[in-house]
Homo-oligomer: A and B are copies of this chain.
Amino acid sequence: MSVRERVENVVEAPRFHAFIIGVIVVNAITLGLETVPHLLDRYGAPLHVVDRTAMAIFVVELLARLYVHRARFFRDPWNCFDLVIVGVALAPATGPFDVLRALRVLRALRLISVVPTMRRVVSALLAALPGMASIAALLALILYVSSVLATTLYRDVAPEYFGDLGSSLFTLFQVMTGEAWSDVAREVMAERPIAWIFFVAYIAVTTFTVLNLFIAVAVSAMETQVGQEDRERAADESATMAALLAEVQALRGEVRELRDESAKV
């Protein structure tokens, strides 16, 4: 047994798998505990030790899997996901890169790639994305056009909402989710009473488009699940049909033979 096969046996073992899940969970908890100041003051050192140990285990695990699978490693997108998440945590976390330090908690997302049921759920969610692409593009176009329009029209009326294109994009995203849109609309309408047309039209159009986005996802989910059952049943049925047809054709052959024989007689 080569070294590589031995490493593979270890990496693929259910026990090793369970161990990695355990490390992720423990690490997720310690990263949560680190947000509590007085715990960090008192137990800062041991918490950091756990964190670095978990990190070291992840690096070793990834290197081992990379050694076992080599080029194939990069074909599985989940492996790339693991690599990016662990890579972020290895990046220097000082000075201007303070955000990267906060991103360490993303390591807990490795649970998704490690627990099979989670992986399946996320794969199913991602599978719904392509079907949404064109409606999402339409929504983005509506958002952009409305934002340019709102910036031009209401820049001076409500500068905190529509002061520049970025603010308008954020405000109209907020209106799209139905959040506090009446505050925005009433402030604008105080000076431009006609603005209700813009808001009502925008809400009607985006609500309807978002609804259709949701329906597209729901229909494709339903098709996948219900459709499969239907297809299986249809396959069953057509198998019975084929058997019946074969039976009838065989019978017809026999009747023909019978006729031939009785003709001979």
A residues at B contact (CB < 8 Å): 28, 31-32, 35-36, 99, 101-103, 105-106, 108-109, 111-112, 117-118, 120-122, 124-125, 128, 134-135, 137-138, 141, 144-145, 148-149, 151-153, 155, 164-165, 170, 173-174, 177-183, 185, 189, 196, 200, 203, 207-209, 211-212, 214-219, 221-223, 225-227, 229-230, 233-234, 236-238, 240-241, 243-245, 247-252, 254-259, 261-263, 265
Contacts and interface: CB of A to CB of B under 8 A. Distances in A.
B227 A221 contact: no
Contacts of A218: 215, 218-219
Contact of A203 (B135, B177, B211, B249): B177
Given A177-B178, A251-B251, A99 B153 contact: yes
B243 A251 contact: no
A118 B145 contact: no
B165 A138 contact: no
A263 B262 CA distance: 9
Contact of A108 (B141, B211, B248): B141
A179 B180 contact: yes
A105 B198 CA distance: 14
A200 B179 CA distance: 13
A118 to B, nearest CB: 6
B144 A32 contact: yes
Contacts of A223: 225-226, 229
A152 to B, nearest CB: 4
Contacts of A145: 28, 105-106, 108-109
